[in-house]
Amino acid sequence: MALLKCITPYAIAVLLLAVFYVPPPLGKTPYEYLRAFWLYSGHLPSVQATRYDYLMFVVQWPFATCANQSCTYEPLPDFFTIHGMWPSNKRDPQPAYCNGTLFNCSEMNQQPQLKSDLNVSWPNLINISDNMGFWGYEYNKHGTCCGSIYNQTAYFRTAHQNWSKYRVEMMFRDAGYRPGNSYTLTELQAAIKTKTTKNPALRCKNLTKSGGGYLLWEVVICYDPKGIYVMDCEPNLSRCSKVKPILYRDRQIDELLYI
């Protein structure tokens, strides 16, 4: 089955979508989901990225990611996991699905240690049985846009190394911040900046039944285009209130709805 997914992902996706709806991974739209698989098949022209300004290294808090959708990863990790490493521009358009070599399952299988590392640092929280599919989706959409700097193995190894170097939950712990409590945007950013020396970006989910509070979801650490050094993230990358408290969630709260 794993080999079949590597060889004919487009055919499988079309069949599944034709027979019954398959939820896109990690909140992606059905269009993006089908587009990614269509790209695998070679039927959709990719977009050439001539340049990008920086790399966004994005980690997610599992208890927030799975707050408003079903996740098969149980028990959820009590640490931040990788969402992606995205070549980005300060102004739109953002590069995606660029020309270059697409994700190769066989190449990943030839790197057993890297694959084992990524199963921990970069799991598919939505469908734990399909980590490879998540990696392939992220690489084909984003990794191809920095192919002149990283080949597939280097791209994923760099992402894992970044995750290992900057463990966000440990930064919060060192600052005395614990899941289950609320903090300000300034406090959370300062805890990360203490380790990276640069301003990160934070992204939140907005609580709709508790007076407009915010739930910490993702942390973005920005790198130069070659991924060598950390740089300040643009202030507009943050998606959290500057004044309202941000909940660092520690458990499932099914009665809350998010937008």
Active-site residue set: 83, 138, 142
Q: Give me 4's structure tokens.
A: 């079949």
Question: Exposed, middle or buried by CB within 10 Å (0-12, 13-18, 19+), for 236?
Answer: exposed
Q: Give, rounded to a whole angstrom, the gap between the first and last alpha carbons of the chain.
A: 36
**Spatial contact of 186 and 175, defined as CB atoms under 8 Å apart:** no
Strand pairing category for 246-248 and 214-223: parallel
The total of other beta-carbon atoms located within 10 Å of residue 232's CB is 14
